[in-house]
Amino acid sequence: MSYLELDNVTKIYPNGTKAVNETSLSISEGELMVFVGPSGCGKSTLLRMIAGLEDITGGEIKLDNRVINKVDPSERDVAMVFQNYALYPHMNVYKNLAYGLKNKGESKEEIEKKVNEVAELLEIKEFLLRKPGQLSGGQRQRVAMGRAIVRNPKAFLFDEPLSNLDAKLRGQVRIEIKKLQKQMGVTSVFVTHDQVEAMTLGDRLAVINEGVIEQVGSPIEVYEKPATYFVAEFIGTPQMNFINGKIHANKFISDEFECSINKDVKDQEVIFGIRPENLKVSANGSIKIKVDLIEKLGADSIIYGYDKSNNYLCYRENGNTKIKVNEEISLEIEDENYHLFDQETKKRLN
Amino acid sequence: MSRIFRITVSHSILICGVLLMIVPLWLVFASSTHSNSFIYNEGMQWKIGGEFFDNYDRVLNRKGGFTKEITASGIFYNSFIMAFGIASLSVFVSMMAAYSLVYFKTRFSTLFFWLIFVTLLVPLELRILPSYQIVSDLNLLNSYAGLILPLSASAIATFFFRQYYRSIPEELLEAAKLDGANSWKFFIDFLVPLSKTMIAAMFIFMFVYGYNQYLWPLIMTTSEKYWTVVMGLKMIYGGNSVDRYTYVILSLIPPVIIIVFLQRLFIQGLFQSK
Ligand SMILES: Nc1ncnc2c1ncn2[C@@H]1O[C@H](COP(=O)(O)OP(=O)(O)OP(=O)(O)O)[C@@H](O)[C@H]1O
Ligand SMILES: [Mg+2]
């Protein structure tokens, strides 16, 4: 059941920038959809069109079975959490939360009840009489969340609401947002360029590149079966390794190594992709690299090196590795976990 | 050592400034408390004399002018109404103008802004004849409305409000919109409280501007009932008598009240907003 639906939505800014290009997407009720993509790919623009803060150049947006293209933002009943929170500086926290309810014409008692409930939920009760200027970044973030929650809107829209928090707090708030969202069951769109955030938060991800959605799917789907070269490259740290080569008689052939393909792919130029954790050291492995750099992260070690044709490859090993810099190691592909992309269209082949 | 030196220097500069402001005022005030003949013979005085009540009572309540229709208190009242009207109206009009210039992005808003700004080059003194014509056609000669209206659109105030609104982050408007605020609510609930400081400053500025008007009231009032402060100084109290000192001191009171009253708001605003 689609609740929020984008149908061939296009945005061209007055200066001619085409920020969103014929994008279609359907989000079901209660789902948390994450828009993820590099800076400038049009995530915010898409979100702001849903909110009504940008005009829609082409296409249609439907919310709860109603076309909202021409509906004023104040009447869409969506709530947005901004990156810089956009709290009302001259109102105290209580009034910040109450303002939307007041505009809806709710009674004083009702407003008080709702604000107190939300304040309790978010543990901001003790700040209710403070102005935003007297709060820490994390507390402000909570107030911004509270302002969205208290109205119980049809949809939550988040535009990178965690990017101003320190790493530890970000992790905590992320979990909290996920819980709250599930608890309230409000359809949500969360914009981020941080893939860890995207992977952990989203029921589904929409990976966006240059105004086009490259893939929509659950985090695991997107990770395990990236639909395009861009998605493969964008999702996952350290990045997937790529080797250019060609397919001949169901075999992948590059200067470095060959490997038979388990699926019928016609002969063509391809990009062969393999994630660092899908490699393993093996005495007769076909990929040989000279180690250039080792990052020891505690739980695992990341080893970088050049192969003969000067591809910079990366390999991940659990624990504290014994491999040394400048050592030559041979790697092989584990469990046929590789990805093939067409060199022309950059689309997935296997 | 050097800190004491710095404080001494800076304080001496400040004290000099204060003296520069206070001394002439004191001289006028002290002189205003002596008898007419004493001042006439001895010149201005540093010491307080014994005629304070007599002088002030006389100046406030004696009918002056040629038709004996107006007292100094009447004059101060007229000027207060005029200045207050100009200040309130021009603050209101400028805020509205700036609001539409900044938030309703019509294609020509920049052009409109510059058109408004250019009116600075055409002060009332330059367009006094057409202004008189219009006010007279509207039958507003010898009325408060006639005194106030032609001065109640201020390009300077519009400029300041516009610059201030432009510094307010766009997200604030967007968040308010999503919270269900329409344009009018945004103005009342956001721009007005946020620009409290600016309003106070502009009000003071425009009040003093209105209070100091001379040429316009001179031209458009034929009835002495509508005389204003600067006119009174020229027409009634321009002579060489102690009354002019008394009048000058009294004429300071309305703007001082406004400034004292609004300065509190002004400073309050300064501390609140940041
Ligand atoms: N008001 C505007 N006028 C013209 N072009 C704009 C405007 N806003 C954004 N753009 C352009 O549209 C494109 C998409 O911008 P958008 O803000 O949606 O990116 P984003 O994905 O949110 O990036 P980020 O992660 O950096 O926030 C960019 O190329 C940007 O330069
Ligand atoms: Mg953005």
| Partners of residue A330 on adjacent β-strands | A288
Other CB atoms within 10 A of residue B41 CB: 8
Is the Cβ pair B172, A133 closer than 8 Å?
no
Minimal C-alpha gap between A81 and chain B (Å): 8
Nearest by CB: A100 against B169, B179, B193: B179
Residues in B touching A111 (Cβ below 8 Å): none
For residue B274, the model assigns a pLDDT of 41
A71 contacts chain B (CB < 8 A): no
Please state the three-class secondary structure of A209-259 as a single string.
Answer: ECCEEEEEECHHHHHHCCCEHHHHHHCCCCCCEEEEEEEECCEEECCCCEE
CA of A156 to the centre of ligand 1 (A): 20
In a domain, B205, yes or no: yes
Is the Cβ pair A82, B174 closer than 8 Å?
yes
Residues in B touching A74 (Cβ below 8 Å): 177-182
B151 backbone φψ class: left, alpha, beta (φ>0; ψ -120 to 50): alpha
For residue A291, the model assigns a pLDDT of 93
Q: Residue B28 above 90 pLDDT? A: yes
For residue A322, the model assigns a pLDDT of 87
For residue B272, the model assigns a pLDDT of 52
The predicted complex's ipTM stands at 0.85
Is the Cβ pair B274, A133 closer than 8 Å?
yes
CA distance B175 to B71: 55
DSSP state of A73: G
Is the Cβ pair A90, B273 closer than 8 Å?
yes
B176 contacts chain A (CB < 8 A): yes
Is the Cβ pair B178, A88 closer than 8 Å?
no
DSSP string covering B79-138 = HHHHHHHHHHHHHHHHHHHHHHHHHS--TTHHHHHHHHHHGGGS-TTTTHHHHHHHHHHT
For residue B234, the model assigns a pLDDT of 81
pTM: 0.84
Across the range B78-101, mean pLDDT stands at 95
Specify the residue for token string 């008007």.
B213
CA distance A121 to A130: 18
Minimal C-alpha gap between A187 and chain B (Å): 16
In a domain, B195, yes or no: yes
In a domain, B39, yes or no: no
DSSP string covering B180-218 = T--HHHHIIIIIHHHTHHHHHHHHHHHHHHHHT--HHHH
CA distance A218 to B10: 68
Minimal C-alpha gap between A82 and chain B (Å): 8
For residue A308, the model assigns a pLDDT of 85
Extract the runs of DSSP E, i.e. beta strands, from chain A. Answer: 2-12, 18-28, 32-36, 58-63, 66-67, 78-81, 155-159, 187-192, 204-209, 212-217, 241-248, 251-253, 258-260, 269-274, 279-281, 287-296, 300-306, 312-318, 328-333, 339-342
In a domain, B109, yes or no: yes
Nearest alpha-carbon partner for A50 in A4, A3, A104, A1: A4
B273 contacts chain A (CB < 8 A): yes
CA of A235 to the centre of ligand 1 (A): 21
Nearest bound ligand to the CA of residue A194: 1
Burial of B67 (0-12, 13-18, 19+ CB in 10 A): exposed
CB B245 within 8 A of CB B32: yes
**What is the domain range of residue B214?**
76-236
CA distance B73 to B58: 11
In a domain, B2, yes or no: no
Nearest by CB: B181 against A74, A84, A90: A74
Cis-peptide into B193, omega within 30 deg: no
Two tokens at A277? 């954790």
In a domain, B113, yes or no: yes
Nearest alpha-carbon partner for A46 in A9, A85, A3, A91: A9
Write the CATH number for B212. Answer: 1.10.3720.10
Specify the residue for token string 């207050």.
B84
In a domain, B241, yes or no: no
* Residue A42 alpha carbon, nearest atom of ligand 1: 18
Tell me how many domains chain B contains.
1
Burial of A164 (0-12, 13-18, 19+ CB in 10 A): middle
Across the range B74-91, mean pLDDT stands at 95
Mutate to test the interface with A, among B107, B178, B197 (most CBs of A within 10 A): B178
User: Tens-of-pLDDT digits for all 350 residues of chain A?
Assistant: 679 999 999 999 999 999 999 999 999 999 999 999 999 999 999 999 999 999 999 999 999 999 999 999 989 999 999 999 999 999 999 999 999 999 999 999 999 999 999 999 999 999 999 999 999 999 999 999 999 999 999 999 999 999 989 989 999 999 999 999 999 999 999 999 998 999 999 999 999 999 999 999 999 999 999 999 999 999 998 999 999 999 988 889 988 788 888 777 888 999 999 999 999 898 888 888 999 999 999 889 999 999 888 889 999 988 888 888 999 999 988 878 899 999 999 999 98
In a domain, B248, yes or no: no
Three-state SS at A104:
helix
CA distance B9 to A150: 57
